[in-house]
Amino acid sequence: MDKHYQPSLEPDIYQLWLDKKVFTPKINPKRKPFTIILPLPNANDPMHMGHAMFTIEDILCRYHRMLGDPTLWLPGADHAGIETQFVFEKKLAQNGKSRFDYDRQTLYKMIWDYVEKNRKINQFQLKELGFSLDWTRYHYSLEPKIIEQVLATFRKLHADKLLYRGERIVNYCTHCGTAFSELEIDHVEKDDFLYYLDYGPIQIATTRPETIFADVAVAVNPQDKKYKKLIGQQAIVPLMSKTIPIIADDLVDINFGTGALKITPAHDTTDFEIGQKHKLPTISCIELSGKMTNTIDGINGLYPKQARIKTLEMLEKQGKLIKTTPLHHTVGICYRCKNTIEPLPVPQWYVKTKPLAKPVIDSIKKEDTEVFPKRFKKTYLDWMENIHDWNISRQIVWGPQIPAWYCLDCHPDIQLNFIDKNGNIVSGKYQDIKEKYSFEDIKKGLQTLNAPVSSKYFLENTDNSCPHCSGHHILQETDTFDTWFLSGQWPLTTLGFNVVDPKKSSPDFNYFYPTSVLDTLWDILFFWVGRMMIFGFYLTGKTPFKMIHLHAKVVDEKGQKMSKSKGNVINPSDTVKQSGADALRLALVYGVAPASNIALSQDKIKAQSHFVNKIWNASRFALMTLDRFPKASFTLPKKLHPDDQKIIKKLNKLITSVTSDIEKYRFGQASENLYQFFWHQFCDSYLESIKNKGATAIPVLMHLLITQLKLLHPFAPFVTEAVYQQLPPIFTKKQPILATASWPSPIHEKTQKS
């Protein structure tokens, strides 16, 4: 053995594991399996330090394999709809292009090719970190079989009347060109202004004067005495001289501004709710492109920020701007591009989540599904009990299209956006453009269609003819599925559940489902975990996992989130190349409390690199001692020296504590105890004490070494395997540690063998 541990050994060690198929479990009806589904890395992105926290899952999987459990850790990658398209569009922009320079099919193919070039990067990185994933069961979210099951779930939801189209206010990013759920919106504090405007008999206060053109009412609180006489009268929208009713509604905050609220149902969620309640019209003055429309000359075609400035100039000129006061408030921004979110009315597909959430809530309350740490249980229940219907529509190309078709002959008023033969973007209703453009040209260049909520649709496009009128001018819904709609079904689709006929589900599903543990960061508890539970109960009647374990978040040594702009990012691949995977793994778990922040620094990684080298050198000393006494016995004598009895007793306590800590998800405590015992009890004390003992030291020495290698293996698999392969064949049978080594149990120091 070399004097120093060499991380360059690690690729060969990983290949040994693959060659021996130690990560691929066999179905054994006599044994209970242990199953984990890997939280999906984005197929397009290299891994960041947060992904290195999959170390927790690897610890659990290696531990359970050593217990003899058929253990499946199932890998995969997510197409990551909006994230991937956003990154790809940034690349296009660098070359002076945009998505609107390509038809839908061409753009999809370009993104597909781009992702395929990058998809193997994170597979390599997962292997680089030693993650014991069963690569024979690797899946990708755009695999045909997976999409087939996802579409079947959509149709089942529709058949069960849990799916509908509705025009509601959505969180729309005009830059990314898609709607987002409330969970995908970041909220930031901002200094702004409150503008007081003259509406004839009443004054209102608003943060958005540019939307006055879509006002349909002014609302006051019915308990507000100063406005009681005005209820039922007419207000006058400035710049338009348009009259609108003054109404009463309890949702109006008496203490905000003047206590009178202009109602713009198309551009505010509260206004939309009031509008629905009072049967008010919904008028939009902002297009999906982000530009103003249905306003007045000088405002049409501007972006909202420009329109605000121009509107205020006009209001001030006409004496309708009474005053302006500072306002500190919260606004929603896109979590991807950080542009301001526009609340816009768009026909979208929704899943009714209230009935689907009930069995999830019951499971968590009864602890059929446990949440660890338990402090997250209440947060999770609060969210599930107040869940809103789920908008599953995304206005992007990258991802499976929603399987619904519209007939233009039945609905000539459908709004279409397409690229013509000359590369121009054309927008208009089919009835207005069909004379100028052929249906085939429209279909080829189609970007989006916007069908009114009242439009009929059908879910099976078997012969490309309309079941209502037998017409052939049929277009598929251009919205794609929200990424979480696919990944929410991940435990089912990857294990082979059959949505149409559950009895035809695969043996893998029947054996490995429900999974044992779902380990992830707490920030996607609702995004992903909640939706997997919803689909699990809806489709199988069972929870998809028995334990939700929320691991810690990686931050820098000052407790700040890692980001490129701050210059505090530690690249996992660079770290592995420099210090080895084991050093990084140990640095991520050593002494860390569950679901806390992990302050990671180069110093911490360096300290664990020293520990890895300590394991190597102590093992090297033990093996050199063994070489000096080739005929020494490995059997523990019936009567041990008091010093040997003492350290074996301490080792027994270590076995018990590490086992308990892993079972109770105290990985930080387990790694700390292993570190302290190996460095101080074994190296500093025991190895020093046996340097002159001769062959009689061999049995206890080898027992201590091999037991510690087994205990350390889930945490530091590479160095322990490298040492294990140097042991005499009597111990290893020339197999990897996972193939031959059982998890240690405490022994009675006087009677048992090593």
**181-343 and 602-740 agree in CATH topology:** no
Is the pLDDT reported for residue 332 higher than 60? yes
248 Ramachandran zone, left/alpha/beta (phi>0; psi -120 to 50): beta
* Whether 637 contacts 700, CB under 8 Å: no
Instruction: Compute the Cα dihedral for 85, 87, 92, 98 and give only its sign.
Output: positive
Is the pLDDT score of 750 beyond 50? no
Considering the four listed CATH numbers 1.10.10.60, 3.90.740.10, 3.10.105.10, 3.40.50.300, the one that applies to the domain covering 181-343 is 3.90.740.10
* 17, pLDDT greater than 80: yes
Residue 329 predicted with pLDDT over 60: yes
pLDDT per residue as tens digits for the range 679-732: 999 999 999 999 888 898 999 999 999 999 999 999 999 999 999 999 999 888
Whether the Cβ atoms of residue 743 and residue 710 lie closer than 8 Å to each other: yes
User: Does 425 have pLDDT greater than 90?
Assistant: no
Tens-digit pLDDT profile for residues 570-612: 788 999 999 999 999 999 999 888 778 888 889 999 999 999 9
Give which of 536, 553, 554 is closest to 545, Cα–Cα.
536
For the domain with range 602-740, which CATH number is right: 3.40.50.300, 1.10.730.10, 3.30.200.20, 1.20.1630.10?
1.10.730.10
Q: Is 10-139+483-583 assigned to CATH 3.20.20.330?
A: no
Specify the DSSP class assigned to residue 42: B
Where do the structural domains in the chain lie, given as residue ranges?
A: 10-139+483-583, 155-173+345-356+377-479, 181-343, 602-740
Percent of the chain predicted with pLDDT > 90: 75
Q: Taking residues 192-201, what's their average pLDDT?
A: 97
* pLDDT of the residue at 570: 79
Q: What digits encode the pLDDT tens for the residues 450-464?
A: 899 999 999 988 778
For tokens 């609340």, name the residue: 343
pLDDT grade for 155, boundaries at 50, 70 and 90: very high
On the question of pLDDT at 563 being above 80, the answer is no
Q: What residues contact 133, with CB distance under 8 A and at least 6 apart? A: 23, 38, 73, 74, 75, 126
The three-point CA angle 361-379-56 to 5° equals 95
Q: Residue 565 pLDDT > 70, yes or no?
A: no
Confidence class for position 752, pLDDT limits 50, 70, 90: very low
CA distance 56 to 63: 11
Q: How far is CA 175 from the centre of its chain?
A: 22
**For residues 492 and 140, what is the distance between their CA atoms, to the nearest angstrom?**
13
Per-residue pLDDT tens digits for 474-497: 999 999 999 999 999 999 999 999
- 247-282 residue pLDDT tens: 999 999 999 999 999 999 999 999 999 999 999 999
DSSP structure class, residue 629 = -
**Residue 635: Cβ within 10 Å count:** 11
Looking at every residue in the chain, the average pLDDT score rounds to 92
> Phi/psi at 433 (nearest 5 deg)?
-120, -5
Query: Which of 261, 265, 270, 268 minimizes the C-alpha distance to 224?
Result: 261
- The band of 133, judged by pLDDT with boundaries at 50, 70 and 90, is very high
Q: Shortest CA distance to 401 belongs to which of 344, 352, 461?
A: 461
CA–CA separation, 658 vs 481, rounded Å? Answer: 44
pLDDT attached to residue 754: 38
**Quick one: pLDDT at residue 44?**
83
Does 751 have pLDDT greater than 60? no
Q: Is residue 188 pLDDT above 50, yes or no?
A: yes
Average pLDDT over residues 21-36: 96
The answer, yes or no, to whether residue 65 has pLDDT greater than 80, is yes
Alpha-carbon Rg of the chain, whole angstroms?
A: 32
> How many Å apart are CA 339 and CA 178, to the nearest integer?
12
**Residue 306 contacts by C-beta under 8 Å, 6 or more apart in sequence?**
none
**Statement: residue 424 has pLDDT above 80:** yes
pLDDT digits (tens, 9 = 90+) for 136-146: 999 999 999 99
Q: How far is CA 92 from the centre of its chain?
A: 25
| Element spanning 244, H or E | strand 242-248
Nearest to 348 by CA among 274, 279, 488, 448: 448
Type of residue found at 534 = I
Which amino acid type is present at position 461?
Answer: N
User: Residue 298 CA to chain centroid, in angstroms?
Assistant: 43
Q: Measuring CA to CA, how many Å separate 391 from each of 180, 350, 395, 544?
A: 8, 5, 12, 22
Distance CA 59, CA 590 (A): 13
Q: What is the mean pLDDT of residues 312-321?
A: 97
Burial 191-220 (b: 16+ CB within 10 A, else e): eeebbbbbbbebbbbbbbbbbbbbbbbbbb
With a cut of 90, say whether residue 174 has pLDDT above it: no
For residue 377, the model assigns a pLDDT of: 93
**pLDDT at site 564:** 54
pTM: 0.87
Q: What is the pLDDT of residue 566?
A: 64
Read off the pLDDT of each residue in 60-81 and give the average, rounded to a whole number: 96
Averaged pLDDT, 18-31: 96
